[in-house]
Amino acid sequence: MRGVPARPTGSVEVITGSMFSGKTEELIRRIKRAILARQRVQAFKPRIDDRYDAHRIVSHEAVSVEAVAVGTSASIEERVLDETDVVAIDEAQFFDRGIVEVCDKLANRGLRVIAAGLDQDYLGRPFPPMPELMAIAEEVTKVHAVCAVCGGPASRSQRLIPQATTVLVGGAESYEARCRGCFEPRDVPRTEF
Ligand SMILES: Nc1ncnc2c1ncn2[C@@H]1O[C@H](COP(=O)(O)OP(=O)(O)O)[C@@H](O)[C@H]1O
Ligand SMILES: Cc1cn([C@H]2C[C@H](O)[C@@H](COP(=O)(O)O)O2)c(=O)[nH]c1=O
Ligand SMILES: [Zn+2]
């Protein structure tokens, strides 16, 4: 019987949630499983995120994998090799809007694209370009941290220092995970705005 012509089916998977929710751990888990399945994986991170290591994706628990740090979504597209099966991207919220089209194109070429990133900023607003990335994804996984105040499931990132720019790279010294009830989006002193 003549079957459907063999054509690799690509896809976009998004892993999202607040800070400390395990997005990077889940991304690394998927990367490791793909490598075990002998798939060729390329991992990328935004150059701006130099918190733990410039050339590795590193979780808050210090689990890490090798990655290429790039400045723009176009650099990801340029660097993807013909033989690559899986493209993994961490901190996708730090990329320009072009990341949506790049992920879409790669998936249309038959690649599996896995992108992890924050869904909300420190004020609880959708963090572009994550909403658009989630819209074009085949699969969205929302993970939760533990609320630093009440111990419930946390969906928000509470900024602890008075800085009112959307982008502020940092870890536990500047942010904690909070649930909806404990989140105080206006905790930053107004004079600092
Ligand atoms: N409030 C918290 N809730 C859950 N995990 C936390 C919390 N604070 C620190 N962690 C640690 O962070 C790890 C998750 O790190 P990571 O995958 O880098 O998260 P994300 O990428 O979502 O910021 C957890 O395994 C845990 O050890
Ligand atoms: C809420 C929020 C976070 N950031 C920064 C802080 C960290 O550098 C990353 C998130 O890292 P994680 O792997 O999810 O822990 O984003 C920011 O710049 N602006 C914000 O509003
Ligand atoms: Zn709470």
Write down the domain spans for the chain.
11-144
At residue 4, φ and ψ (nearest 5 deg) are: -70, 135
Atom of ligand 1 nearest to the CA of 19: 23
Residue 94 annotated as lining a ligand binding site: no
Q: Which CATH number does 11-144 carry?
A: 3.40.50.300
Residues with CB under 5 A from ligand 3 (ion): 147, 149-150, 152, 179, 182
Question: What are the tens digits of pLDDT across the range 23-67?
Answer: 999 999 999 999 999 999 999 999 998 888 888 999 888 889 999
Q: DSSP for 103-171?
A: HHHHHHTT-EEEEEEESB-TTS-B-TTHHHHHHH-SEEEEE-EE-TTT-SEE-EEEE-SS---S-----
- 91 as an active site residue: the answer is yes
At residue 105, φ and ψ (nearest 5 deg) are: -60, -45
pLDDT band for 2, please (50, 70, 90 cuts).
low
> Out of 25, 26, 66, 91, which one is annotated catalytic?
91
Contact criterion met (CB below 8 Å) for 10 and 138: no
Give me the residue label for tokens 């723009």: 72
Residue 93 annotated as lining a ligand binding site: yes
Nearest ligand to the CA atom of 178: 3
Residue 151 annotated as lining a ligand binding site: no
Query: What is the four-CA torsion angle of 18, 19, 21, 27, rounded to 10 degrees?
Result: 100
Question: What are the tens digits of pLDDT across the range 78-126?
Answer: 999 999 999 999 999 999 999 999 999 999 999 999 999 999 999 999 9
Question: What are the tens digits of pLDDT across the range 128-170?
Answer: 999 999 999 999 999 999 999 999 999 999 999 999 999 999 9
**What's the DSSP call for residue 31?**
H
With a 6 Å cutoff on the Cβ, whether 25 touches ligand 1 is yes
